[in-house]
Chains A and B, each alone.
Chain A
Amino acid sequence: MSTATEPTTERPFTQIEEADLQAALTSGRAVLQVMDETGDSKKIWNPDVPEEVEDAKESFKRLKKAGYAFFHVDVKGNQGEQMNEFAPKSGRYIAVKALAGG
């Protein structure tokens, strides 16, 4: 991920297989997906574990500062909303680099 070069104490984003992603989501955990040159990099975290929530929040803040927009979508991917503030809840958070006119 292009923004991962900055010094950080966050847990790293990784390439997680779709099956593992679905298993995490159905077990009530949350996934932060960042679009990048590899397709997307992911970080799974548990909304009930304070350390993991803090880590996800740190990633959220860093990416937002780098110009990413966030969308929270449900497990099926059909319902969602854009998020301007971090909220520790289950489901998928998709980070997209801000739009620019062509």
Chain B
Amino acid sequence: MNQHDDGQNNPTHIDTLYAADPIAADRQLWGRETSALSRRGFLKKSGLVAMSTAIGAAIPFARFMPSGLIPAAFAAEGSSTRIEGKEGLIVLNERPLNAETPAHLLDDSVTPSKYMFVRNNGVPPEAIDVDNWTLEIAGESCVNPLSFSIAELKQRFEEVTLQLQLECGGNGRSEFVPATSGNQWTTGAIGCPTFTGVRLRDVLNYCGVGADAEYVGYYGADTHLSGDPGREPISRGVPIAKALERESLIAWKMNGEDLPLQNGYPLRLVCAGWPASVSGKWLKKLVVRNQVHDGEKMAAPSYSVPKQPVAPGSRVPNEDMKVIESMPVKSLITFPKSGITHDLRERLIVRGHAWAGDDQVSGVYLSIDFGATWLPTGVNSPANRLAWQDFSGWIQFPQPGYYEIWARAMDMQGRSQPLVIPGWNPRGYLNNTAHRIAVQVV
């Protein structure tokens, strides 16, 4: 859905309704209810008639129409992409699917699955047979290569539920100048749902990790965009130390339910705090390597930044690049929504989340005077290591006028967010500039 500027277009436009709440729009316009069982919208008889009347034709396959979907016949140009199980996301790219979440939809402490962003590199698998899904553990440094069904994983290892933040390495890319190639993420390639699964280290240790183990790489069931079955769309991973952390999971649930298809159903890796591309989706195989994994998009310039700071626009040879590990400290204002008009007499509550890659957040500060002065906020402890932290504060504005509210988080080592765009890099990663929203006080 490209439409997120509600109120700026024709207010009666069908897209506006769908942009606000596709499920409610379905119900309002067509009486179409979302079935949790089938994960498809189905039309009550009256709704089916209404929809058929509106387009002047019968809809024989109405039962197959996913919920929250604007029928293409009604859709305005370029604004019709609907993702099953998702709501309100802004689609940057349909093939491969890349969709981010507007900041105000990330207000929940635990990100609802429907608001979890999507970053696909290839085409997700179809016709998934979850009962016969296997995860293979192999690689030069795996002592006893084994295969597990999902049922075996559940049976053999301790089940763990953790709240874990995943952020795309390219989140914020759109603000780099000169522009860098790739999906032009603004602020929404971040989310922090809960994941349920087993610890990666329990599974790896069960198979035996060789003393020379260096890296764990993944392979998924997604296919390359070119259709070439010999090519992997992406096959990344993490150094063995990160893999063996107690928060690194092989997960089958998000927020207590099956993973959404676009987020890796039925099985994925979750190694939080690093570029989310290390957390492979549709997980089929893990390899314990005796070298840095050399899968697709492991090598520079993918998910890599210059070893030394470079001037904007520099052509940096691959040998002068290094792979990104922990993501930097960052925060997001999720309430209020940018663009509100606020009554001078009222305090304005401001809240959001902050995270710091492998580290923890020590404080979040707000400024309403372009960084001249800063107000501390209350920051909650994370639910567990590598979960984001909620912050909340309030502002009493001194006089009417235009204000920007800037949020700046600091990690435990005193590292903070830059107020301008941080170091330019050829692929536009790691933009952790302070988030800002605009408010007109009257």
A binds B: no
| Interface residue ranges, B against A (CB under 8 Å) | none
| Interface residue ranges, A against B (CB under 8 Å) | none
